[in-house]
Amino acid sequence: MGAQWKAKHKDLAANAKGRIFGKLSKEIQLAARSGADTDLNPRLRMVVEQARKASMPRETLERAIKKGAGLLGDAVHYERVTYEGFAPHRVPVIVECLTDNINRTVSEIRVLFRKGQLGAAGSVSWDFSYLGLIEATPAQPGADAELAAIEAGAQDFELGEADEDGEVAPTVFLSDAADLDLVCRALPQHGFNVVSAKLGYRPKNTVSLSGAELEEVEAFLAAIDEHDDVQEVYVGLAG
């Protein structure tokens, strides 16, 4: 499952549309604290593009930008906090949150980790790489992902696999964290349309599970992902 854990079932994803908008709104507000102009704020530009591709309503998007930039009176200041630990069966997990109340969040995350093990900072992150993660699709059939990665300055790429319905996932281009915006801008010039872009964690090693053990880990991850303050869940789980 590599970088970012996602619920497998499409019905769950559809029902979570509101939560997706909520998470994107928080990211926009945080990014907009450095300025509301997307031309001058690369981080905001990437999150806004991601929100548009997720079909976030324009009014919701604009309000989030203004709120984060302090242009409205009801600004909420979110802080990014990261938790590390293990899911059942010693599967390493990194959980990124945006919260306006760290004490509340850590208390609730601790409860969610009861079936696993919440660790200290650095307990599992040493086994992950912090990278730019760029999902992109070919602008036309036959686009060469390897050539695009080289020309755009990406470190590596992973071709998307087909799901049960035959739909092929986007290609993931991996960049140095500092080069994320540059690679995003370059990919369209080499035949790939960027779907999403973010900084995140990629496991160096993964744990292989199946059957009841895999189902137990999936249930654990789903419970964490449903928490309102959780933005991303990264897991060292194969497959």
Q: Which residue has the higher pLDDT, 203 or 197?
A: 203
Count other C-beta atoms under 10 Å from residue 102's C-beta: 12
Q: Which residue has the higher pLDDT, 126 or 3?
A: 126
Strand pairing of 117-119 and 128-138? unpaired
Average pLDDT (83-92) is 96
Whether the CB-CB separation of 34 and 44 falls below 8 Å is answered with yes
- Tokens representing 187 are 């990919």
Whether the CB-CB separation of 196 and 50 falls below 8 Å is answered with yes
Q: Do the domains 128-203 and 79-126+204-235 match in fold?
A: yes
* pLDDT at 7 > cutoff 70: no
The model carries a pTM of 0.80
Q: Could you tell me the residue ranges of all domains in the chain?
A: 10-68, 79-126+204-235, 128-203
Q: Which residue has the higher pLDDT, 198 or 7?
A: 198
Question: To which H or E segment does residue 95 belong?
Answer: strand 91-99
Spell out the CATH class of 128-203. alpha beta
Whether the CB-CB separation of 20 and 54 falls below 8 Å is answered with yes
Per-residue confidence (pLDDT) for residue 9, from 0 to 100: 46
CATH superfamily of 10-68: Integrase, N-terminal zinc-binding domain (1.10.10.200)
CATH of the domain spanning 79-126+204-235? 3.30.70.980
